[in-house]
Chains A and B, each alone.
Chain A
Amino acid sequence: MLWIRRFLLRLQTLFRRHRSAQRLNDEVQFHLDVQIVENLAAGMSPQEARYAAMRIFGNPTFLKEEARHTWGWLWLEHLAHDFRHGLRALRKNFGFTAVAVLTLALGIGANTAIFQLIDALRLRAIPVKEPQQLFTVQLASTIGVRGDQASRYPVLTNPVWEKLRDQQDVFSGVLAWGSNSFGLTPAGEGRLAQGLFVSGDFFHVLGVRSLLGRVFTASDDRPGCGLPGAVVSYAFWQRELGGDPSAIGHKLTLNNHPVEIIGVTPPGFFGLEVGSSYDVAVPICSQAVLWSEGTWLDEGTVWWLNVMGRLKPGTTPEKANAQLAVISPAIFQATLPSNYPGESVKDYLKFKLEAVPGASGVSWLRDQYSESLSLLLGTASLVLLIACANLANLMLARATTREHEFTVRFAIGASRGRLIRHSMTESLLLALLGSALGLFLAGALSKFLVASLGMEGDAPFLDLKPDWRLLAFTFGLASLTCILFGLVPALRASRVSPAEAFKSAGRTATASRKRFGFRQGLVVSQVALSLVLVVGALLFSGSLRNLLAVDAGFSQKGVVIAGLDLFRRLNVPYAGRVAFKQDLLQKIRALPGVVSAAEVEILPLSGNGTINEVWIEGTNPGSRLDSLFNSVSDGYFKAMGIALLAGRDFSPQDTVSSPKVAIVNQTFARKLGLGTSPIGKTFRRQATPSEPEQSFEIVGLVADTKYSSLREEFRPIAFLSTSQDPRPGPSAQLVIRSAAPIAETVSNVRGLVAQASPLITLGFQPFETTILEGLTRERLMAKVSGFFGLLAALIAAVGLYGVMSYLVAQRTNEFGIRVALGAQRADVLSLVLRNAALLLAPGLALGAFLSVAAAQAARAMLFGLKPSDPGVLVAAITGLGLVALLASFLPARRAMRVDPMVALRYE
């Protein structure tokens, strides 16, 4: 019970502090009065009585303070006092406060925004039950994988998945999913939904319950299931159905097939791919219905299902892997596809499944941007460091002007600890204000960053809601910056010596010279770090420029890409498809301004690709060459501006029944040892799941072009003719080169297609845009690092300006004397500039050293530039040096204009 009483007493003194203090005053006053009365009674004079009472009592102010100390709240009072005082001081120096808070906010905001992305992409687990138990099941080695790879992630075929599902005893549950997009509208230009094909147990194994309706069960996912229903995401339910609680039973149209909504998942669940959010999920078995071009369910050569397992409690990943290794041979033995190319069969039978941690899901975005984001976080933290150095400098300058105040406070009894605390409170206030504003900026900045990661109108989905990690990060950052820029000035301010400071109340000579050394050190490090950022900015923008200037072998200017969904709803048999497309192309070529139009299977730089082994008949297997393949129609090379060096283009006379022909590029000819005249030669291509081994006659030689990336060297490419394809697919991709404005071409082609059939849907994009989108990462790095570099240079210039101004102010009388003794104004100017250069030179030298070291980390992201590119280094040093000299020129000019009379009189 005692502690309750004590607690209540503590509360009383906390919440009724004023009353308690008043009571204490009364108590002490009463004591003194009684003593005075007694003293008077003893015959003292009133004054004497009062004096004697005071003497025997002691120092009442001090004793009252001691008594209040026992209440235990003095620290709080001091804190409140410091805060009030700090706020007042900050308000009084509004300019200083604004600059400090703004630079901090920019620094903290940038760091927080980038951290937020890293958090969402890398640190968070996927939003399911106990994600640490989830493991991705994939092939241990992909050597010998043949057929179509329909995902960016490690995937398996459906037969392998089914065998694994039925035979495994490794996991407590396994799941599979494949992603695809579904057309939502029955007709016209389709809006697309992000679709998932999921195994029956998908939601159960993940532990995701339905918010409305139900999720799938194993019985939904069985061969021949048709379209038993769709589970939709919370976001889709809100967006498309307005969050209607009676949405269950509502019909959706997916790729022209009606399907009933059976359930809605909770808001937190976005799927297993970080960076995108699913809209609609249907069972894997529905693929047979939704795909007009046949089923993938029995295909042993279409790799499209991501597989995960939930580890049994008590098992280790090692055990799981060992068990997977045991069951693998049987699974692959049982699923060997009949059309698997003979030479790869032995690889197939040797495939082994392995389990790797899957708690963070899969993410192409993460694979693409992890390194960039880490680099950007490093860059942003450098900006913050520079901002801190700048603030420390400003705080030191202020501490110098307040030296007198501190001296007086110290002399009248403030402890050093109290002075440091007071100084730190002010820094803490700045840090808190800065991070509050920074957090606000970060919200906008991270949205901007996410938007610039995506393609036009297709920003990636990232869950950016602030979590404890983000708040901890920001708060940690604020505390760190506070210590960084506040501690040294506080320690220095408290290191006052009353005797010395009182002696020279105005300008001190020796003490501040020493302090000034530290400030110069700060400026040197600021210049050095800024140089690192400027070099980074130049390297990234230089790489982007180099990539854009790279000769890809084709010219993208004036080319527009049209994607056509031709035969999904328009029923044309295989035999008629080539002629249908030829006819459409002929009409497009006749449009005004159109130079050439052609079909292409794989658009350069799209990231898709086909690779097969080729060889000259009769040569030994060692001379086989891995060649890239593409299928194009006649007119492609003209449309893309690719030079035809020898031989002929494809023509409509190349048909399914005529001998197979190919056009190859220079690298192909050289690497196969065909030299510059390969026309008429024949090469063989290995068997593929869809076609046997066969020969192609080379009828043309074209200039080299880039295939999947601007960064790559030219690789061997063989072009085949689309008109020789016996089973043309349902969609087609056209390249159209036109001298007319793109908008005009687009509307003309639209008109033509609508005339041909209203069942065809299509979309357009200028090829230049496609290429720029392929350079998203490079553009992001150039943009953001450029911004940081500029910011850093600016902050460093402000820092140098501040220090030089201080120096000029300190030496005003010296300059006056110099001028009075006959120094030329120009001499004074050069004296100050020399001083600035003395700060600048070691900063730039140190910075150059640091830049070369730091740029190594970015080596993989550079193109056409070495990390230690001398041109970049020289440009950065010159640029930053000029800005810095300009910043010190203003104070120098002030020094030059010093009036000797004024300066001397002041002393």
Chain B
Amino acid sequence: MGKPNDLVQGTLDLLILKTIALEPKHGWAIAKRIQQISREVLQVQQGSLYPALHRLEQKAWIKAKWKETETGRQAKFYSLTAAGRAQLEKEAANWSRLSAAINLVVETP
């Protein structure tokens, strides 16, 4: 129940960091964005985003700000901190290395 479906452990952090790298987003938008970009392949259980977001916030990799949305409601927008940006680069590089290695193993006849 606590883990996102079909997601490799630890990758949720990477996805979140990547998703908000360009502009601040609130939780729902992050979930939506991950779903869209991954062409509906990554089915993130939306609620499990929040423990992850709070954990990242406590680590000071992301910061949050309450702002008004287009509809006029208050929402909590998350954006990257400098430390978060460094962490994103590190994790993205890690991921590339890992996935390339796995590809290599899987696709070798």
Chain A residues within 8 Å of B, Cβ to Cβ: 2, 5-6, 9-10, 13, 23-24, 26-28, 30-31, 33-35, 56-60, 62-64, 66-72
Q: Which of B2, B28, B45, B50 contacts A34 (CB 8 A)?
A: B28
CB distance from B91 to the nearest CB of A (A): 16
Task: Knowing A30-B28, A35-B46, A67-B54 are in contact, say whether A2-B74 is a contact too (CB < 8 A).
Answer: no
Q: How many residues of B contact A (CB 8 A)?
A: 25
Q: Which of B46, B51, B58 contacts A66 (CB 8 A)?
A: B51
CA A31 to CA B75, docked complex, whole Å? 9
| A63 lies within 8 A of B47 (CB) | yes
CB distance from A490 to the nearest CB of B (A): 28
| A67 lies within 8 A of B28 (CB) | no
| A71 lies within 8 A of B60 (CB) | no
**1/0 per position for B15-44, CB-CB distance to A under 8 A?**
000000000001110010000000000000
Task: Knowing A58-B47, A59-B47 are in contact, say whether A9-B60 is a contact too (CB < 8 A).
Answer: yes
Q: A30-B73, A66-B51 are in contact. List 9 more A-B contacts (CB 8 A).
A: A2-B83, A5-B60, A9-B57, A10-B58, A26-B74, A31-B46, A34-B28, A58-B48, A71-B58
| A62 lies within 8 A of B58 (CB) | no
CB distance from A40 to the nearest CB of B (A): 13
Task: Knowing A66-B51, A69-B51, A72-B58 are in contact, say whether A27-B46 is a contact too (CB < 8 A).
Answer: no
| A35 lies within 8 A of B28 (CB) | yes
CB distance from A77 to the nearest CB of B (A): 15
| A62 lies within 8 A of B1 (CB) | yes
The residue on B at minimum CB distance from A63 is B47
CA A630 to CA B106, docked complex, whole Å? 111
Indicate whether B59 reaches chain A with its CB closer than 8 angstroms. Answer: yes
CB distance from B95 to the nearest CB of A (A): 22
Residues of B near A24 (CB, < 8 A) are 50, 54
Residues of B near A33 (CB, < 8 A) are 73
Residues of B near A62 (CB, < 8 A) are 1-2
CA A26 to CA B27, docked complex, whole Å? 12
| A9 lies within 8 A of B45 (CB) | no
CB distance from A470 to the nearest CB of B (A): 42
The residue on A at minimum CB distance from B55 is A70
| A58 lies within 8 A of B51 (CB) | no
Between-chain CB contacts (< 8 Å), 21 pairs: A9-B57, A9-B60, A13-B58, A23-B76, A27-B76, A30-B27, A30-B73, A30-B74, A31-B31, A31-B46, A57-B46, A58-B1, A58-B48, A59-B47, A62-B2, A63-B50, A66-B2, A66-B48, A70-B55, A71-B54, A72-B58
CA A30 to CA B64, docked complex, whole Å? 15
Chain B residues within 8 Å of A, Cβ to Cβ: 1-2, 26-28, 31, 45-48, 50-51, 53-55, 57-60, 66, 73-76, 83
Task: Knowing A26-B74, A70-B55, A71-B54 are in contact, say whether A60-B47 is a contact too (CB < 8 A).
Answer: yes
Task: Knowing A57-B47, A58-B45, A60-B47 are in contact, say whether A31-B58 is a contact too (CB < 8 A).
Answer: no
Residues of B near A70 (CB, < 8 A) are 51, 54-55, 58
- Count, A-B residue pairs, CB within 8 A: 78
CB distance from B103 to the nearest CB of A (A): 31
The residue on B at minimum CB distance from A33 is B73
Residues of B near A2 (CB, < 8 A) are 60, 83
CB distance from A841 to the nearest CB of B (A): 57
CB distance from B55 to the nearest CB of A (A): 4
| A6 lies within 8 A of B55 (CB) | no
The residue on B at minimum CB distance from A72 is B58
CA A28 to CA B47, docked complex, whole Å? 8
Residues of A near B74 (CB, < 8 A) are 26, 30
| B27 lies within 8 A of A27 (CB) | yes
Residues of B near A13 (CB, < 8 A) are 58
| B76 lies within 8 A of A56 (CB) | no
| B46 lies within 8 A of A56 (CB) | yes
CB distance from A321 to the nearest CB of B (A): 64
Q: Which of A6, A10, A28, A56 contacts B50 (CB 8 A)?
A: A28
CA A13 to CA B59, docked complex, whole Å? 13
Task: Knowing A30-B74, A30-B75 are in contact, say whether A67-B51 is a contact too (CB < 8 A).
Answer: yes
CB distance from B83 to the nearest CB of A (A): 5
CA A72 to CA B58, docked complex, whole Å? 9
The residue on B at minimum CB distance from A35 is B28
The residue on A at minimum CB distance from B66 is A23
CB distance from A294 to the nearest CB of B (A): 85
The residue on B at minimum CB distance from A56 is B46
Q: Which of B45, B50, B60, B83 contacts A27 (CB 8 A)?
A: B50
Q: Which of B27, B45, B59, B66 contacts A31 (CB 8 A)?
A: B27
Residues of A near B26 (CB, < 8 A) are 27, 30-31
The residue on A at minimum CB distance from B60 is A5
Residues of A near B57 (CB, < 8 A) are 9
Residues of A near B73 (CB, < 8 A) are 30, 33
Residues of A near B47 (CB, < 8 A) are 28, 57-60, 63
Residues of A near B58 (CB, < 8 A) are 6, 9-10, 13, 70-72
Residues of A near B2 (CB, < 8 A) are 62, 66
Q: Which of A10, A23, A34, A63 contacts B51 (CB 8 A)?
A: A63
CA A331 to CA B44, docked complex, whole Å? 95
